[in-house]
Amino acid sequence: MLTLAEEREARLVVIDELRGRRFAERLGIPLTGSLGILLLAKEAGLIESVSVWLSKLQEAGLFLAPSLIQRTLEIAGEC
25 and 48 fall within a common domain: no
71 and 48 fall within a common domain: yes
38 and 28 fall within a common domain: no
48 and 72 fall within a common domain: yes
11 and 27 fall within a common domain: yes
47 and 21 fall within a common domain: no
Tell whether the model's pLDDT for residue 9 goes beyond 90: no
42 and 10 fall within a common domain: no
- Averaged pLDDT for residues 5-29: 90
39 and 23 fall within a common domain: no
Task: Give tens-digit pLDDT for 38-66.
Answer: 999 999 999 999 999 999 999 999 999 99
State residue 3's pLDDT score: 84
Per residue, the 3-state secondary structure of the chain, as one string, reads: CHHHHHHCCCCCEECCCHHHHHHHHHHCCCEECHHHHHHHHHHCCCCCCHHHHHHHHHHCCCCCCHHHHHHHHHHHCCC
State residue 44's pLDDT score: 97
Strand partners, 32: 14
Overall domain count for the chain:
2
Q: Chain-wide mean pLDDT for the chain?
A: 93
| Domain housing 18 | 2-32
Tell whether the model's pLDDT for residue 1 goes beyond 80: no
